[in-house]
Amino acid sequence: MSQALIISDNEVLNDLYSVNLEVYTGTNVTVKRNCDEAIELLDLHPNIDVVISLCMLEDIDSGAIIYQHLIENDMDIPLIVIGKKSDVPPEVPQISGCYDFKKLVRSVAKVLEITAKDMAVLTVPEYYPIPIKLFYNIQAVPCDVFFKIKKSMTENEYLKIFFRGDLPSLGIKKYIDEGVHFLYVDSLKRLEMINLASECITSELRNINDPSVSAEKKLEVVEQGIEIIANKLFESKEVNDEIVKISDICREAIKDVVESSPGLESILNLLTANRASYLYSHSIIATYVATHIIKTISWGGDSHVDKINFVFFFHDMFLTPIYTKYPELKYEEEALFNSKLSEDEKEVILSHARLAADALIKYPRLPLGADQIILQHHGMTNGQGFAMNFKDDISPLAKVMIISEAFTEELLRNLEEGNESVLSKDDIVAQLKSRYSKSTYIKIVETLSEIKF
């Protein structure tokens, strides 16, 4: 069996790349999240048949780094780069779209000299494993789906849990909560299943604002849309047409969920049911809080609501890859003292407001002042670091962001601690008044006494 090394820090893409290559080319896939880990593997086990790398990882030209290592160490291993930003010679295949799975499969088959006939006769087990996350967006499974039960050291039993045509999302949470990573399908149906899963992310984004789509589904798909945008921004550091299109769809969906929600408890329940990441949950809740503030405060208007929705969608984009890599992370300032993070990662946390503001400067029809609001959303006028003393020399909407995020963090801390008083607003409002003592901030905090739980 051929051996492929994938270098990518995007979990959704890793699953899709791995399962497409394994199903179509019979290739065994190993995933590494950065160049250092990949180079270590290459040096220890040089029997890799093909290396596939995202072109940029954490602002580093990973494609060029891996290419240079292969050349300098006389490793005759083909390299395929996903993305067009890598400084590699023209003879290195580069796949422009990170979701172009068919081209990736064709490219791998070509360099490994695997023919269509070879792929047709691949020997596979009777039941084929499919990563459980790939069932999230499937409306109806194209075949029966099985759960593997280990009966003995040498014998497994496959229990049918979904019939062909079933909606898997209704029962998938139970298996995720139990730590299940794979479900299984009949190997003869594996290509049909993988093709459907690969198409679902983009098709769900196109259909997300259909009135029949539930709030739960919208939040689930928007989270994946944000991950796509975050990785594209990391790759190019600039906004392209695809980012604009996806962000417009996602922001409209968030606005709809926020405005149709009867209160904060409803939002929390939706996010909990979806097992949303901390960074995403924090952003959605803070958007709800900020929307309430603007609709309540005397100077707020509809244009301010649209603007605050825009800035909350983009403000933490450059943190997404770090939070994906370290899912246990929560509060940004505390993450700066986490020994697991590299100095470069900590620098991204310190400068994520500036990075996001800079990336959005060329956004078509950028809401007036949105880049400055993002730049100031931690109280620093230059978008670098976190303010200790909050002054009046920043935008009123940046102050709304600061208070909204602070309220959200207190809410989530109480939930983590199992504090039953979480539904009482008075203590949180009192804490915020004490922390943000200037009158302009206090006026914003006071609006939270009326927020619906």
| Rounded mean pLDDT, 302-318 | 87
- pLDDT value, residue 13: 81
Per-residue pLDDT at 38: 94
Average pLDDT, the chain: 82
Exposed e or buried b per residue across 332-353, where buried means at least 16 C-beta atoms within 10 angstroms of its C-beta? beebeeeeebeeebeebbbbbb
Looking at 62-71, 72-81, 183-192, which range is the least confident one? 183-192
Average pLDDT over residues 63-77: 93
Nearest Cα residue to 410 out of 319, 311, 297, 331 = 331
Whether residue 148 has pLDDT greater than 70: yes
- Chain-centroid distance, C-alpha 33: 15
Query: Is the pLDDT confidence value at 102 over 50?
Result: yes
- pTM of the predicted model over 0.85: no
Of 74, 73, 75, the residue nearest 49 (C-alpha): 75
pLDDT bin (cut points 50, 70, 90) of residue 119 is low
Beta bridge partners of 52: 6, 80
> Does position 1 have pLDDT exceeding 60, yes or no?
yes
Residues 32-56: pLDDT tens digits?
999 999 999 998 887 899 999 998 8
The 10s digit of each residue's pLDDT in 165-212 is 988 877 787 887 777 878 899 887 877 887 777 667 666 666 666 777
Residue 434 CB contacts under 8 Å (≥ 6 apart), including other chains = none
pLDDT band at 63 (very low <50, low <70, confident <90, very high): very high
Which pLDDT tens digit goes with each residue over 424-435? 677 888 888 888
Task: Indicate whether 355 pLDDT > 70.
Answer: yes
Lowest mean pLDDT among 155-164, 177-186, 306-315: 177-186
Tokens matching residue 183: 């479900």
pLDDT confidence tier of residue 437, bands split at 50, 70 and 90: confident
- Read off the pLDDT band of 161 (50, 70, 90): very high
The CA distance from 229 to 310, in Å, is: 14
**Partners of residue 5 on adjacent β-strands:** 30, 51
- The secondary structure of 26-95 as a DSSP string is --EEEEESSHHHHHHHHHH----SEEEEES-BTTB-HHHHHHHHHHHTT----EEEESS-----TTS-EE
Residue 198: its pLDDT value, please? 60
| Per-residue model confidence as pLDDT tens digits over 329-351 | 788 877 888 888 888 888 888 98
| pLDDT for position 123 | 56
Percent with pLDDT over 70 in the chain: 88
Residues 110-123 have a mean pLDDT of: 72
Q: Provide the pLDDT confidence category of residue 319 given band limits of 50, 70 and 90.
A: confident
Residues 6 or more apart whose Cβ sits within 8 Å of residue 37: none
Interval 222-264: pLDDT, tens: 776 776 677 666 656 667 776 777 778 778 888 888 877 777 7
With left for phi above 0 and alpha for psi between -120 and 50, is residue 74 left, alpha or beta? left
Q: How confident is the model at residue 423 (pLDDT cuts 50, 70, 90)?
A: very low
User: Does residue 420 register a pLDDT over 50?
Assistant: no
Q: Residue 237 and residue 106: Cα distance in Å, rounded?
A: 29
pLDDT value for 82: 92
> Is the pLDDT score of 6 beyond 80?
yes
User: What is each CA distance from 358 to 151, 241, 341, 354, 392, in whole angstroms?
Assistant: 56, 17, 24, 6, 23
* Structure confidence at residue 443 as a pLDDT band (50, 70, 90): very high
What's the pLDDT band for 421 if we cut at 50, 70, 90?
very low
Query: What is the identity of the amino acid at 395?
Result: S
Phi, psi (deg, nearest 5) at residue 246: -65, -40
pLDDT of the residue at 252: 81
